């Protein structure tokens, strides 16, 4: 198991993607690396212009979803993903992006590998883009 590098006062939290209620009656939180995963999914799942007062927040992935899937499109997906995440979350660096096409459901499944700058291990998250 990879060892985490301890950094003083390093604690992140966010609302969990599933919006479940905890036993204490509060919305469940995503902590540290799970918080970063939520951040990445939020960035990639938000259309640019969708968020009020932050028109540039998000990504332009959905501009690409109706194009034919080929090597050029996958390279454009990679560029959009990397630039969006780097622009909006300075805690991470992207180490790899994998693509899987699910033609039956008209979707592309993105696997994003990333490192949190204060950790020594690599993490993954998955984002589904529907066409």
| CATH code, 19 | 3.10.450.40
How many domains is the chain built from? 1
The residue to which tokens 């998000």 are assigned: 58
Task: Specify the pairing of strand 13-15 against strand 29-31.
Answer: antiparallel
Residue 5 placed within a domain = no
- 68-91 tens-digit pLDDT: 777 888 888 889 999 999 999 988
pLDDT-derived band at 29 (thresholds 50, 70, 90) equals low
Q: Would you state the structure tokens that stand for residue 99, as one six-digit string?
A: 């693509």
Please give the residue range of the domain that contains residue 60: 13-130
- 94-129 tens-digit pLDDT: 999 988 877 777 777 889 999 988 788 899 988 887
Residue 6 placed within a domain = no
What per-residue confidence (pLDDT) applies to 116?
Answer: 86
Selection from 52, 125, 55, 110 nearest residue 77 by Cα? 110
Residue 7 placed within a domain = no
Residue 69 placed within a domain = yes
């Amino acid at each position: 198991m990879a060892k985490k590098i301890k950094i003083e006062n390093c604690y992140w939290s966010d609302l969990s993607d599933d919006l479940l209620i905890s036993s204490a009656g509060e919305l469940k939180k995503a902590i540290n690396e799970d918080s970063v995963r939520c951040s990445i999914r939020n960035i990639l799942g938000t259309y640019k212009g969708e968020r009020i007062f932050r028109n540039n927040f998000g990504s332009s992935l959905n501009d690409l979803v109706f194009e034919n899937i080929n090597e050029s499109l996958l390279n454009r997906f990679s560029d959009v993903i990397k630039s969006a995440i780097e622009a909006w979350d300075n805690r991470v660096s992207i180490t790899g992006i994998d693509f899987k096409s699910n033609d039956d459901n008209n979707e592309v499944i993105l696997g994003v590998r990333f490192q949190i700058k204060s950790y020594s291990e690599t993490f993954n998250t998955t984002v589904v883009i529907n066409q």
